[in-house]
Structure formats: structure tokens, C-alpha cells
Amino acid sequence: MSIEIVADAPAVATRAADIICASVRANPRAVLGLPTGGTPIAAYTEIARRVAAGDADLSRATVFAVDEFASATAATPGTNADFFRRFVTFPLGALHCPDPAAADPDAHIRAFAAQLRAAGGCDLCVLGIGENGHVAFNEPGSARDSRARAVALTETSRQAHAANFGAIDRVPARGMTLGIADLAESRSLLVLAHGAHKAAIVRAAIDGPATPEVPASLLRDHPHLTWLLDRAAAADLAVSG
């Protein structure tokens, strides 16, 4: 596990774009796992700027979303399908996102994970971390060997998406996610966090015990895991000073 600490949120975005673009330069047909949420938006904007300037090319890369809401439609504002349409604006070889309208979310996300494995698995999987320690939609209590499945979303996770859906009562109660074991099969993992509101959970995930109650902590033994943090998110770590 390595930890990179940069000055602030814009620096996280720039460095994340560096890492994603480097992965694709090394392998133009790279398979990427990409997250949604507020943390990676600026990184995607920076990648789009580089693509427009001719400094990056992801047109042969394949992207898999790491999670999605259930019991919605792909056109529903706030879903991850909607997020990728709005924020991942640069050309890709392929973009795969679970169908939020799937009639059987469990079967659908298991088939989605099988599709990822058939594509060769993720060369690089980028993740955010929720304030309750979730990665993708692996909520507290998720086991190290958990696989792709439908899950009940915690109130904390639903509240984090309330603005995108327009109100908390519009946020679906369930989601679909790649499991901890699926994420851990990626050849490289990059976890992003910025802001003081993430400092306590970042410390728990990095310095605390590896426990299902902090799902991000279960990735710590991955051989190629990088945490990319700004100073505010890293403030409680032993290494921060």
C-alpha cells in the first residue's frame, strides 16, 4: 500500500488524471473500473481537457462502472448511468454500466461481474470512499470475500446522493455493486479522498483494524493499492505530518 498526499482537491484531480492516463498510455486497450460521486468529477473534467488538447486518448479503453442503483431507470437523474453521461464526456472504446432497471438486480450484477472477468478484469480500478467506509456500494458489514450482489443502502449512503436525486425519498433503497473480492482482483487499485469530512474514515481505513465495518480497510493487503489524498483528508493519519 502506498499513500500519496497532495495539497488540495484540485491536486487530487490532477494526480488522479495522471494515473488514469498513464495506465491507458501503457495499455491503450486498458480495462478501467471507474466510480461516480463528487470526488472524481474534477478528474474526469481534467481528462476531458487533456483529450481535447490531444494529450490523452482513451478511445480504445474499456470502462466498467463499479456500482449502480437498483429499481430506477438509466434516464433517472442521480443514477450512475446518468452520472457517466454527464461527466465522462471523452471518447471511450466501451462503457459498461449496470442497468438500474434490471428486473433481477442480483442476477444482473453477477452477470455484469462475469462480463468484467471475461474482458480480462480491471487493469486499474479507481474508487472513492464513503463517510461510512464503503467502497463501491459495499456497505459496512461487507465481507472480504463478498462478490457482486444487490445490497440495501445505508441512510448515510442514500443521504450522500439525495441532492442528485432531488430528495432523500427519491434515492433508491437498494444498489448493485461489485464485491470486495471482485474489486481486489483488479491489477491496481486507486482510492481517492479529499476534504476534512473524510479524515476520520480515511484514518480508520488505513490505520485502524481491517474489518468489515470499514469495507475500504479490507483492501489494504492488495499488492498494488494507492491512496491519493489531499492534506485535509490525510490530516488524522500518522503519516500526514
Known catalytic residues? 67, 132, 134, 139
CA-based nearest residue to 68, from 192, 163, 199, 157? 157
Query: How far apart are alpha carbons 228 and 15 in whole angstroms?
Result: 8
> Checking phi first, is residue 192 left (phi over 0); if not, alpha (psi -120 to 50) or beta?
beta
Could you give the 3-state DSSP secondary structure of residue 16? Answer: helix
Measured between its terminal Cα atoms, the distance across the chain in Å is: 18
- Report the alpha-carbon angle 106-125-178, nearest 5: 10
